[in-house]
Amino acid sequence: MIDQLWLILLGFAAGILGSMIGLGGGIVVVPILTFLGFPPTAAASNSLFAALSNAVASTISYSKQKRIEVSLGLKLGLLSIPGTILGAIVSTDVTPDVFKILFGFVLIASAAYIFLRKKIETKEKTLSKQIMIFSIGASFFAGIISAFFGIGGGIIFVPLMVVGMGMSMKRAAPTSQLILFFSSLSGVLSHSLLGHPDFIQAGFLAVGSFAGGLVGARLSIDIKERYLQIIVSVVILVAAGKLFLDSITDNSGFFGF
């Protein structure tokens, strides 16, 4: 157990980042666990415990700052639950190489979002029926991604609220944490029923992520983001490249090389 205490530090670092940008810390946790040889279902399910813990801490902090759109967060969070159940079930049979390739694309999308997030803000919009219908489908899809990859689904929810609904980034990222509470909780329960997580490892990640969530929410108030965006985007892209390379060079890989 002692040799797994490093997971607390990993959860803490991921929690700070996840809280600040609203994506959840899975974009940090899952690649590292994957590189260390964790099976896809273990990496995703353990990461979801960290995402849940991070969402709880971040939601508490952001609610005190009054930056959460509670009604919208509740609706989108509840709509994501069926998708998380499906995502957990589908992840059971995924091979490591397929998981690496798919997650590599998720990381690329995450890096693009982090680097361009300030440029996608739009003026406030009136929610149309079309946007609300699209939001229902997007929430279901985000739920699948959340449980399948263990990242919480923020990569879908934050752009949806900013671009589709015209919400400011200062409110979208906090609201995303409330949504991630529901998607992560349902994902954790689904994965646990399927026997995927290692509860000791998940617990260490959750402890670190909770503390990181509190720190990240505080830092998000006045931090200068540009340098952080560049550094995080580069690290994520390197991780994506490593995932692609591992999947290609593995003799039993997805491409059959």
Residue 14 φ/ψ, nearest 5 degrees: -65, -35
pTM greater than the 0.75 cutoff = yes
Residue in the structure block whose two tokens are 């060079």: 249
How much is the pLDDT for 58? Answer: 84
Tokens of 38: 């964790």
At residue 76, what is the residue type? L
Task: Quote the Cα angle for 98-99-105, to 5°.
Answer: 95
At residue 71, what is the residue type? S
How much is the pLDDT for 240? Answer: 82
Task: Quote the Cα angle for 19-232-42, to 5°.
Answer: 65
How much is the pLDDT for 213? Answer: 84
pLDDT digits (tens), the chain, 257 positions: 677 889 999 999 988 877 776 666 787 898 889 888 899 899 999 999 998 998 898 888 888 888 899 998 999 999 999 999 999 999 888 888 888 888 888 888 877 776 776 665 555 555 566 777 888 888 899 899 889 988 877 778 877 787 777 777 778 878 888 998 999 999 999 999 999 999 999 999 999 999 988 888 787 666 665 666 676 677 778 878 888 887 777 644 444 44
Tokens of 70: 């509670």
Which of these, 160, 151, 171, 165, lies nearest to 103 by C-alpha position?
151
Residue in the structure block whose two tokens are 């490093």: 6
C-beta separation of 34 from 91 below 8 A: no
Where do the structural domains in the chain lie, given as residue ranges? 2-249
Which of these, 99, 108, 97, lies nearest to 147 by C-alpha position?
99
Which residues make Cβ contacts (< 8 Å) with residue 19, sequence separation at least 6?
Answer: 25, 54, 57, 58, 61, 177, 212, 213, 214, 215, 216, 217, 220
Which of these, 13, 16, 46, lies nearest to 30 by C-alpha position?
46
* Stretch (H or E) spanning 185: helix 169-193
Q: Exposed/middle/buried for 93, CB within 10 Å: 0-12, 13-18, 19+?
A: exposed
Whole-angstrom Cα Rg for the chain = 17
Task: Quote the Cα angle for 25-29-30, to 5°.
Answer: 115
Q: How far apart are CA 9 and CA 22, in angstroms?
A: 19
How much is the pLDDT for 62? Answer: 86
How much is the pLDDT for 163? Answer: 72
Task: Quote the Cα angle for 138-25-208, to 5°.
Answer: 145
Residue in the structure block whose two tokens are 């979002």: 113
